Chains A and B, each alone.
Chain A
Amino acid sequence: MRIRSQVLRKRSRGRDKTVMRLSRIIIKNFRNFKHLDIRLGEHAVVLGENKVGKTNLLFALRLILDPALPDSLRKLRLDDFWDGLTRPLKAEDIIEVSVEFRDFEGNENLLAVLADHLVKPDPMVARVTYRYQPVQGLERAPRSEADYEFILFGGDRPENSIGYELRRWMPMDLFPALRDAESDLARWSRSPLRPLLDRAAKTVDVKELNAIAGEVHTITSKIAALPELSSVVSQVNDQLITMVGDKHAVETALGFSPTDPERLLRALQMMIDGGKRGVAEASLGSANVLYLALKHLEHQYLVDEGERQHTFLAIEEPEAHLHPHLQRLIYRNYLQTRDETQAGPEPRSILLTTHSPNVASVAPLANVVVLRHVAGEGHTIGRSLKGIKLNASDREDLERYIDVTRGELFFSKGIILVEGDAEKFLLPTLAKLHDETLDFDALGISVCSIAGTNFAPYVQLLGPKGLNIPFVILTDFDPKGEVVSQEDADPDEVGVVNSYGENRVVNQIMQHLLNEEVWTKSDFAKVMKLAPNYGVFLNEFTFEIDVFKAGAADYFLTAITKLSTNKKMHARFKDLSADPDSLDPLQFLKDIDSIGKGRVAQRLSAVLVDERADVCPVYIKEALKYLKAKLA
């Protein structure tokens, strides 16, 4: 039987467009967190490599928000203290998890739940804290787990204890990484379909249901009475009696479903493909989509019926169950900002943990949280993009840019920002041939091309106020009067003296890297001088020319010869190979452009590898040295 989709009742809630959000998480001394303090947007997409502590972060939240977590698990163990604390633990060592909520003022029910836990009045901010600490009144140093207890309290008042109530009204619902959606869907007791059907069943006319049950019974009996089938049944029954005797044997019969009206509904199954196949035969992906959809509806019902006010939906590693295109499709939809939705805001926050660039690529920037292991210190820190101030067009640029292939940005340990594809293709080779320890993949270094746009938003994204990931910028000098490689935002050429690149370094890049005080005190020349200290490196002309001048004339010739059939061009490059000083930059670049910068770079890369040639220009060497030091 097929379930027809139900039209949801119009929600009465929604007086206010704002929806509560989890605005901050602070974790101290818990597992791999020494001190994590992150601010969140409407949702949180938590990115980080394996073992960085994504599951621990969710568990920390479960301590406060998950009503399904028993108190026996809420009582932590000594192993849960951060490893960096010296043992034996001192009395003042405590584990603490605090979460803050905002934007709940418009919902009086939520305000009723949180009003006793305010820490800021206008706009209201509520805080709830979990603490694992030595038992109060213990007059000696704690020795064992028996000396510890946990408390949960609201506001800044440890005596303001919090119990089940809060978790009940605004619960966290966790979909763990290793869930088994197909079997959950197939088993009645765990099926997310059950609460939906139970609700619908309440309104089914009992008489009608009895009549249907009667019909089902009649039909089932008819089928079972087919002689071929009934003989199967009697064989089974006979075998049972021979095995266990007639006292213990169960009498069996064939049927499609129990005929008791009450049980009839429970026997209903979700079918797919127009009713041809059961859900158990669905692909992993579709079962998970179905599972999410049903949960979604259930949360909606619970809120509509006043059973809860908000849901924190935590989904671990959605990529484990979904094809990449589904990942992007579903989570782009889930994570869309609230003013984008037409149906009005949903009383729900999504918390995703993932190492999928696919999911990362669709997350609105304000929702991105990146967890990173601090090498050498043995703990994990987090950065969120909630706080960075980008204007709307920069934000849009970045979000468009961080598409699938470049979602790896968030997972990098170090980043090299470059102007275009040529650098992107060639840099790994130049680096490896210059210094064989510089294996970008092994080191977690990504080369990221801004594709002729603007460095400023990337600097903000990666800089100390954003993700705080070590990065260098390689940019072109672009002498004034030459063809500009960038769409520099200086149409009036104010500030451009003899180079577009210098203006770019000072006014687009360094402005966001220097603190206010240094910025106002320094003149143009001073800022230029400071740039390399901040990882910003300028070449002498433009990338290809600087590589050429670093001794690559012969290799360019080899590459061009293989790429082009233009005899005149071959001749030009042959001449250049014989006399590199005769370079005409304009013609050189024109020739490369005619083939395509990317293609040239790719071929040149192959040539350099074959020849084991180190032709790294000085500015790139310096940049690599800078980055290597940062990553050490």
Chain B
Amino acid sequence: MSALAPPYLKVAEDLRGNEDQWRAYRSSGNCVILAGPGSGKTKTITVKIAQLIAEDVRRPRRIACITYSNACVGELRSRLTKLGVDDGDRLSLSTVHSFCLTELVLPYAAMAGLDVPNPLVVASPRQARSLFGDAYRRQLGGNAPGWFRIASDKLRRTIPDRGSDEWHAWDGRETEVVEAYETLLLQNGLIDFDGLVLAGLQLIEKHEWIRRAIRAKYPVVVIDEYQDLGLPLHRIVLALLRAGVRIVAVGDPDQSIYGFTGAQPGLLRALAGLRQMESVALKLNYRCADRIIAASMALLPEPAEFQSHDGRSGEIQIHRLECGIREQADYALQMLVPALLKANPSWVPGDIALLYRTLNEGSPIAQAADALSLRYFRLDNGSPIKRTRLSEWLMDAARWCSGGWQTGEVSLSQLLKAWRRMYRSVMNESELLTARKHLITALFSLRGGALPLHRWILALRRDVLNEMLEQEPGLADEKDNLEELINAAAKGGILQGFTVEIFGNQGKSPDQLNLMTLHSSKGLEFQAVIMIGLENGVFPSGFDRTDEQLKEASRLFYVGLTRAKTQVHLIYDSVESPLITSIRAAT
């Protein structure tokens, strides 16, 4: 192969040895790729995207790639960059929300006569919360309980058509509040994130000319993490498919764990079952050892046939400790972790993850780690560092400031590009140049890994971030996140001791132990996984009663198990979770 050949061709050769991956790579039409844990999903899909761009779609037409969250977008982007594929010119990489915003609502809503605010302002989560509270008070009186909001959000995502029979048949308390909330948003000149997707769905389903426009721009649409995306996106995909757009969908129904947001594993299965779709299951699991694969398959009602990669046997241990979460954490941190590191000299703390269901477990575990002065990376709702576009960018900027500018580990150009992606509304060259100059000056003056995080971030906010957050409608949710981060870094906050360097290395440093919820662990892998709090009645929780809820709990457990390459430790108090029971036979 010549040295000038595009990089993806070389990586594609790696896929040739794996029959399923190769079939996915060679598929020339609509295709669903069912990708189990450790099956090389990201590699397959990124090479596939590079190939589509190089071989199938000619300029000026492009490819759209839609995925679940900003974190997923970031992950795909960095993997594609390594393959020499740049976001922008040939590829539009976005979340469902930003796809609906930039490709459908902004260009077409007014022309199609859709009732959306003009100018379009996206509600910040705080504004949305407050209007929802108003709607609830108006319809039902009193304050809206958290579960009601979650249920209402889910309702909006599962029955998109107001006025349908299904909608009318639904619990009137919920539908009335939702309708009142949507009216309030409109009256206040706002649209929320779910509203964007619903508007996008309406536009694409109702208007043939919009489907034609999208097909012309994007003859191929790739969707990643399909299992998490819910009904509105599924219907958008079906509409595109009917309009002649080529669809490549990737996901794993077994890892669908966002049922509370309206995600349904059945949608990807339904898509895969369509006559015009080729369905490819990636069966080989490169990650997990044999026993872990066997145990995980015992959790699935219809297990796919996964094959292990290298015949490592692996280990699953179940620990009955007869004590509470805090003590379980102490045991894991003082006994299990040191033993694992001792027995496996090549491992570092970053190879081990403590996984748990919710913040209820996360807080005591973090306290236990704090008491032992352990360095850790925490990812749950209690963590002051959310994984958002802005915080990811801030962490990269922090790494650049704390030495990356010398080592080249983070490049200034990548930082500037990512910043430009957030700051889309700057239109003219001179304004853009001025803003860039400010940013670069600020970054250069804030170099120094030992700077306190609080000072660093305040300076950055003053010089650069404030202006961007003021002007950018798409960053509505980031204002609150930044506020929260600054409070945490201030005196008395959880991050008060953080320097720029520590902040930048969050989740990247090999000597930090990982503490995270099962939901946050999706897509990651570790040598060893320790799951805490697997008590009967807690996991699945007492609220998980329906068949669907129980199935989702077991998928969540499945996700946890399959994060481990080699070892799994399952810890409970005194009555083991039925989930443990169901895998016992396989251990």
Interface residues of A (CB under 8 A from B): 71, 105, 108-109, 111-113, 115-116, 118-122, 124, 135-136, 149-151, 153, 155-161, 165, 169, 306, 309
Contact = CB atoms under 8 A, between A and B. Distances in A.
B428 A136 contact: yes
A118 B216 CA distance: 13
A120 B430 CA distance: 32
7 contacts: A111-B212, A112-B61, A115-B217, A121-B207, A158-B427, A159-B427, A309-B60
Interface in B196-251: 207, 209-210, 212-217, 219
B217 A112 contact: yes
B204 to A, nearest CB: 13
A490 B213 CA distance: 52
Contacts of A309: 60
Interface residues on B, range: 20 to 34
B107 A111 contact: no
Nearest to B106: A157
A151 B111 contact: no
A169 B62 CA distance: 14
B427 A161 contact: yes
Nearest to B89: A165
Contacts of A157: 106-107
Contact of A116 (B61, B107, B112, B212): B107
Given A105-B212, A151-B427, A159-B427, A118 B60 contact: no
A150 B429 CA distance: 9
Given A112-B62, A150-B428, A309-B60, 12 more contacts: A108-B219, A109-B61, A112-B60, A113-B60, A115-B107, A115-B216, A135-B431, A156-B110, A157-B106, A157-B107, A161-B428, A306-B58
Interface string B72-113: 000000000000000000000000000000000011101110
B425 interface: yes
B115 to A, nearest CB: 17
B209 A108 contact: no
Interface of A (DSSP majority class): mixed
B427 to A, nearest CB: 4
Contacts of B427: 151, 153, 158-159, 161
Contacts of B428: 136, 149-151, 161
B102 to A, nearest CB: 9
B216 A108 contact: yes
B431 A136 contact: yes
Among A71, A115, A119, A169, the most chain B Cβ lie within 10 Å of the Cβ of A115
B59 interface: yes
B486 to A, nearest CB: 27
Contacts of B216: 108-109, 111-112, 115
B62 to A, nearest CB: 7
Contacts of B60: 109, 112-113, 165, 169, 309
Contacts of A159: 425, 427
Contacts of B219: 108
B61 A108 contact: yes
A118 B62 contact: no
A118 B58 contact: no
B111 A120 contact: yes
Contacts of A113: 60
Given A109-B60, A112-B62, A122 B217 contact: no
Contacts of B107: 115-116, 118, 155, 157, 160
Contacts of A158: 427
A326 to B, nearest CB: 37
Interface of B: 58-62, 106-108, 110-112, 207, 209-210, 212-217, 219, 425, 427-431
Contacts of A111: 212-213, 216-217
A119 B111 contact: yes
A137 to B, nearest CB: 8
Given A109-B61, A136-B428, A306-B58, A121 B112 contact: yes
Contacts of A71: 429
A415 to B, nearest CB: 42
Nearest to B209: A121
B61 A118 contact: no
Nearest to A308: B60
B358 to A, nearest CB: 41
Contacts of A165: 60
Contacts of B431: 135-136
A135 B60 CA distance: 31
Given A120-B111, A121-B112, A135-B430, A108 B425 contact: no
Nearest to A309: B60
Nearest to A108: B216
Nearest to B207: A121
A306 B209 contact: no
A122 B207 CA distance: 10
B112 to A, nearest CB: 7
A124 B110 CA distance: 14
Contacts of A112: 60-62, 216-217
A159 B62 CA distance: 21
B490 to A, nearest CB: 32
Contact of A122 (B110, B209, B214, B430): B209
A112 B59 CA distance: 9
B59 A306 contact: yes
A360 B540 CA distance: 84
Contacts of A156: 110
Nearest to B213: A115
B215 A108 contact: yes
Among B207, B427, B429, the most chain A Cβ lie within 10 Å of the Cβ of B427
Among B58, B209, B430, the most chain A Cβ lie within 10 Å of the Cβ of B209
A160 B120 CA distance: 14
B445 to A, nearest CB: 24
A45 B207 CA distance: 37
Nearest 4 Cβ contacts at the A-B interface: A111-B216, A115-B213, A108-B216, A161-B427
A101 B303 CA distance: 55
A436 B106 CA distance: 64
Nearest to B107: A116
Contacts of A116: 107, 217
Contacts of B430: 135, 149
Contacts of B106: 157, 160
A156 B214 CA distance: 19
A118 B427 CA distance: 19
B126 to A, nearest CB: 24
A586 to B, nearest CB: 67
A151 B212 CA distance: 28
Nearest to B208: A122
A71 B429 CA distance: 11
A482 B62 CA distance: 74
A36 B48 CA distance: 50
A111 B59 CA distance: 12
Nearest to A120: B111
Contacts of A118: 107-108, 111, 213
A113 B112 CA distance: 20
B460 to A, nearest CB: 22
Among A118, A121, A136, the most chain B Cβ lie within 10 Å of the Cβ of A121
A195 B333 CA distance: 71
Contacts of B59: 306
A105 B216 CA distance: 9
A92 to B, nearest CB: 18
Contacts of B425: 159
Nearest to A306: B58
A119 B425 CA distance: 20
Contacts of B61: 108-109, 112
Contact of A124 (B58, B62, B209, B215): B209
B208 to A, nearest CB: 8
A135 B110 CA distance: 27
A115 B210 CA distance: 9
Nearest to A146: B430
A305 to B, nearest CB: 11
A111 to B, nearest CB: 4
B110 to A, nearest CB: 8
Nearest to B110: A156
